[in-house]
Structure 1
Amino acid sequence: MSLPSISPDIQETTDLSAAPLEPWQVVVWNDPVNLMSYVVRVFRTYFGYSMERATALMLAVHNDGHAIVATGPRETMEVHAQAMHDYGLWATVRKAPL
């Protein structure tokens, strides 16, 4: 039995550069349960948004049915979405459009 010969002139290169970080979004959806004042309080407490920013996001949720409340790396957005669930809000994570 003979072993295949290995050609020493083959050179392999490996690209070790990291893939670019693609942004992800946390979307909070309207629900029939939570009061608007409560949603504002959650956005202010958890994200540290100003009263104006939190109110604008809450109104987008209320009027448009949803709002993007955070954008960033996927793992961080998943943590934020879970936090929204813990506060009783409906939230999902999606890839941000490029």
Structure 2
Amino acid sequence: MAGLASPDIDEATEIEVGPPVGWQTVVWNDPVNLMSYVVHVFRTYFGFDAATAHRLMLSVHHDGHAVVARGPRELMEAHAQAMHDFGLWATVRKDPT
């Protein structure tokens, strides 16, 4: 092709890649759901054992919230939606770690 400049393929390009940004699904305390129901949701949806589900439920109850999952944003959004479907309050946020 006459008249078209070809790109310089010898040109080096540096790309800096930072650590991947992680995300969290956070379940918040609410005045509606029983503690036993929250444990049930955590066990059935996330597959937590009884002790882990109970510990996370107590964090929700006493601290007002608990991080129940960490991972890619799309997956954390799916988890938050699932928590909404179960009637729990949940949000997604960047993982500060």
Same fold (TM over 0.5): yes
Q: Quick one: structure 1 residues 15 and 9, their matched pair in 2 at CA, closer, same or farther if it must change by over 3 Å? A: closer
Structure 1 segments, 4+ long, off by >4 Å, are 8-20
Match of 1:3 in 2: none
What's the TM-score, normalizing by structure 1? 0.82
* Residue 21 of structure 1: how far off its partner (Å): 2.6
CA distance in 2 between counterparts of 1:9 and 1:74 reads 37
Q: CA RMSD in A?
A: 2.7
What is the alpha-carbon distance in structure 2 between the residues aligned to residue 25 and residue 9 of structure 1? 43
Equivalent position of 2:67 in the other structure: 68
Deviates more, 1:16-25 or 1:40-49: 16-25
Write the letter of the residue equivalent to 2:61.
Answer: H
Q: Secondary structure at the match of 1:33?
A: coil
* Alpha-carbon spacing, 1:31–1:11, altered in 2? closer, same or farther (3 Å): same
Are 1:41 and 2:37 an aligned pair?
no
Percent identity for Structure 1 against Structure 2:
68
Deviation at 1:61, TM superposition (A): 0.1
The residue type paired with residue 34 of structure 2 is L
From the CA coordinates, give the structure whose radius of gyration is larger. Answer: 1
**What letter is aligned with 1:48?**
G
CA distance in 1 between partners of 2:80 and 2:8 (Å) = 52
Change (3 A) 1:30 1:16: same
Could you list the per-position Cα deviations for residues 55-79 of structure 1 after superposition, in whole angstroms to 9, with x for gaps in the alignment? 0000000000000000000000000
Amino acid aligned to 1:28: V
Provide the rounded CA distance (Å) in 2 between the counterparts of 1:21 and 1:45: 29
Q: SS where residue 53 of structure 1 aligns?
A: helix
How many Å apart are 1:22 and its aligned residue?
1.1
Q: State the partner residue of 2:78.
A: 79
Structure 1 unaligned spans of 5+: 1-5
TM-score of the aligned structures, taking structure 2 as reference length: 0.83
